[in-house]
Amino acid sequence: MDRDYSIREAKDQLPALVRRAEQRGVVRLTRRGEPVARIVSEREYARLKGGGKRDLWKAIQAFRGRTDLKALGFTDADFAGLRDRSPGRSHRW
């Protein structure tokens, strides 16, 4: 986001601001210099909303797939013992 736009400017430049949001993701609107709203691209909205929500395990797998943990200084020993291997709750139906 390179600058803010007053609501007055937005009123006169709405098509241009929508294009800017499409290109950059977000446009911030102000009233008397204070931020009050944002114009958000559909792509950014879907990202923020969690479009195509993944479960936690899939998110962890995706992170591990794109991140070299060894390059960050982690070893297998850092992760040993983190998983709770207890049986969990029993279900009585």
E strand or H helix that includes residue 71 = none
Residue-level pLDDT at 20: 93
Residue-level pLDDT at 55: 78
Residue-level pLDDT at 36: 96
d(C-alpha 1, C-alpha 57), whole Å = 32
Per-10-residue mean pLDDT, the chain, length 93? 86 94 93 95 85 74 89 88 80 67
Domains, the chain, in order of start with CATH, read: 1-73 (3.40.1620.10)
The pTM (predicted TM-score) of the whole model is 0.52
Say how many C-beta atoms besides its own lie within 10 A of residue 26's C-beta. Answer: 14
d(C-alpha 93, C-alpha 87), whole Å = 17
Residue-level pLDDT at 53: 64
Please report how the helices 42-49 and 7-24 are oriented relative to each other, as an axis angle in degrees rounded to 10.
80
Residue-level pLDDT at 51: 61
Contact 39, 17 (CB under 8 A): yes
* Residues, the chain: 93
